[in-house]
Amino acid sequence: MRQLIVNADDFGLTRGVNRAIVELHRAGVLTSATLMANAEATLDAVGLARKAPALGIGCHVVLVDGSPLQAASEVRTLVDPTTGNLHRTLGKLLPRLLTGRIRAEEIEAEARAQIAHLQNLGVRLTHVDTHKHTHMFPAVLRPLLRAARACGVHVVRNPFEPEWSVQATPEAPWTRRVEVKLLRRLEPVFRRIVGEEGFRTTDGAMGVLATGTLDARTVGSLAEAMPEGIFELVSHPGYNDADLGRAHTRLLESREKERQALTALKDAQSFDLVSFATLAVHPDKNC
């Protein structure tokens, strides 16, 4: 059986992103979205989610390129001391993470605060993932899973792209291909930790390589190449409006392209569209 989760990241980033996500869900091509707990349009997204009960909602835990939900004094190693915000780029976070300068307790506390905040707003969460896929690194994954489990969430995104998906993504730049292939070396450790912590995940994610270049041709190529199993298509649809321009995201014009590209899935009949709720095995509870 071939099952596909079509997930949109950055729910809550702007109203234009929120509108695109809900429109695609209503069109029958988008089954899931991951919601930012502390973004400009979070409350707007929560309101829209309440009107779309079939849309699976995950927590898009932000540990980089955003503002912490907790006071900066509570997450000192996670923030830039000059701004009080989370480190702006993965390039600034990673050296600190890999040399042990980011405290696992702070990752867990901030992740738990973001998950609990959405639950307290009435959002029923299907899974967790992270902005910029930071949970592919074990130093983030373990505290993230501890936080999620404490809040009754037991499903996490598998952020690693299979080789067949890489081959089916013709337009991605070679630099991005090298990054994806190198990072895939972390997948065995990821799967081991996920199993040890009692979580469930998918067989892999497609669209990670295509971030910024996902178009209708690539969507069709990925859908055709997908083998049996349950996979996630990671996407970033939106409207390129003034709010998006102020959001400091590198994905501007590409969000419009991705929004249009996902409509190519409307005519796909060779797989079942599902959400992360398909993977849930534990009873729900909140923090």
Residue 126 has phi, psi (to 5 degrees) of -95, -25
Domain 2-279, what fold?
TIM Barrel (3.20.20)
State the CB neighbour count (10 A cutoff) for residue 173.
11
pTM of the model: 0.94
Distance CA 273, CA 109 (A): 34
Amino acid at 122: G
Distance CA 272, CA 279 (A): 14
State the CB neighbour count (10 A cutoff) for residue 248.
9
Task: Note whether 140 and 134 are within 8 A (CB).
Answer: yes
Give the residue from 64, 50, 2, 3 showing the smallest Cα distance to 22.
50
The tens-digit pLDDT sequence of the chain (287 residues) is 999 999 999 999 999 999 999 999 999 999 999 999 999 999 999 999 999 999 999 999 999 999 999 999 999 999 999 999 999 999 999 999 999 999 999 999 999 999 999 999 999 999 999 999 999 999 999 999 999 999 999 999 999 999 999 999 988 888 989 999 999 999 999 999 999 999 999 999 999 999 888 999 999 999 999 999 999 999 999 887 766 666 565 555 678 888 989 987 877 668 899 999 999 876 667 88
Distance CA 49, CA 32 (A): 10
Residue spans per domain, the chain: 2-279
In sequence order, the β-bridge partners of residue 11 are 35
Cβ-proximal residues to 119 (8 Å cutoff; 6+ apart), any chain: 125, 151, 286, 287
Give the residue from 191, 229, 225, 214 showing the smallest Cα distance to 264.
214
Q: Tokens 């392209």 label which residue? A: 257
